[in-house]
Amino acid sequence: MNKALRQVTVEQLRKVKTTTPHKPFTLTVDCCSVTPACGALDIEQALYRLFRVLVDHRGIAEARRVFLEYGREPSKRKLATFKNYGLLDLHDLMKPEPNVQRLARELAEENKTLPRGERRGPTGTTDPMTMLRHLRRLLADREKALKNGKWRGPVPESWFEPIPKPLFDRS
């Protein structure tokens, strides 16, 4: 997954700037860039984030109108997939190493403070055991799909070999 997209936070996505009052949909979203090197999943996630920003700032009707020409609104299944990818990212980015039980506890506690529509996990559960089962199922599904070569979601950066430094400085 593109590192720039992985580091985007909700606060950064809400820093939306309009160029003029007459062109409300000329948007710049901080820290969210799509380059030709990005994969299809990175682009899909960036478009989803842009759609959510439009919904938050202009309403669902305007967001649908803007995206009507270019595509369709993400289905409930696609939205759930992106939410699950976010959970896997949170798991993979835990320091010093991923701990699925701690993450389940933290997410369940966080869900108690969030409105129902913004909660994470299956149906926005506040039960740590339900969240733990969901996270373990996601991790098992990812492992199985990786073995079959059919995984399209995020993978931990620790799985990639570091890029070796050049032996000689050519500058």
Q: What does the domain layout of the chain look like in residue ranges?
A: 3-68, 76-158
Long-range contact pairs involving 6-15 (C-beta distance under 8 Å, separation at least 24): 6/89, 6/93, 6/154, 7/31, 8/32, 8/49, 13/49, 13/52, 13/53, 14/53, 14/56
Tell me, what's the pLDDT at 113?
93
Contact 85, 77 (CB under 8 A): no
* CA-atom Rg of the chain in angstroms: 18
Sign of the C-alpha dihedral computed for residues 147, 153, 157 and 158 taken in this order? negative
Walk along the chain (171 residues) and give the pLDDT tens digit of each residue. 444 444 444 444 444 444 434 333 334 455 456 666 667 777 777 778 888 888 888 888 888 888 876 667 778 888 888 889 989 989 988 888 889 999 999 999 999 999 988 888 878 889 999 999 999 999 999 999 989 988 888 877 666 666 666 666 655
Tell me, what's the pLDDT at 35?
64
Tell me, what's the pLDDT at 17?
46
Distance of CA 55 to the CA centre of its chain: 17
Tell me, what's the pLDDT at 50?
82
Tell me, what's the pLDDT at 170?
58
Q: Is the peptide bond before 96 cis (omega within 30 degrees of 0)?
A: yes
Distance CA 118, CA 168 (A): 50
Tell me, what's the pLDDT at 34?
65
